[in-house]
Amino acid sequence: MPQDRVLVGITEIVGGVAGIDQADITPETSLADLGIDSLMMVEVVVAAEDRFGLLINDDDWPRFKTVLDATRYIDQAARWPYR
């Protein structure tokens, strides 16, 4: 799965959860700066799992500080053969 496709998907999800225009979100955008708190992050994670067909380990998602962090994680997880 191309990383740019993942980035677009994560941007759409984060924008939808945070109620922010996707044009205002960059890969370096901090999730905290977008107002994503822990409850909203659960929404982001569930939506990403559904969209990309994978599971995000509960120990991993708290490490997502930026949109790019989440994008890289999902890109790598999609390449892993034992999802």
Among residues 78, 9, 19, 4, the alpha carbon closest in space to that of 47 is found at 9
The residues annotated as belonging to the active site are 37
Domain ranges within the chain, ordered by starting residue: 3-79
Contact 65, 32 (CB under 8 A): yes
The model's pTM is 0.89
Cα radius of gyration (the chain): 12
Phi, psi torsion values for 17, nearest 5 degrees? -70, -40
> How much of the chain exceeds pLDDT 70, in percent?
93
Residue with the two structure tokens 């569930």: 46
CA distances from 29 to 1, 4, 40 (A): 22, 16, 16
What's the rounded mean pLDDT across residues 22-51?
Answer: 96
Q: Considering only the top CATH level, what class is 3-79?
A: mainly alpha
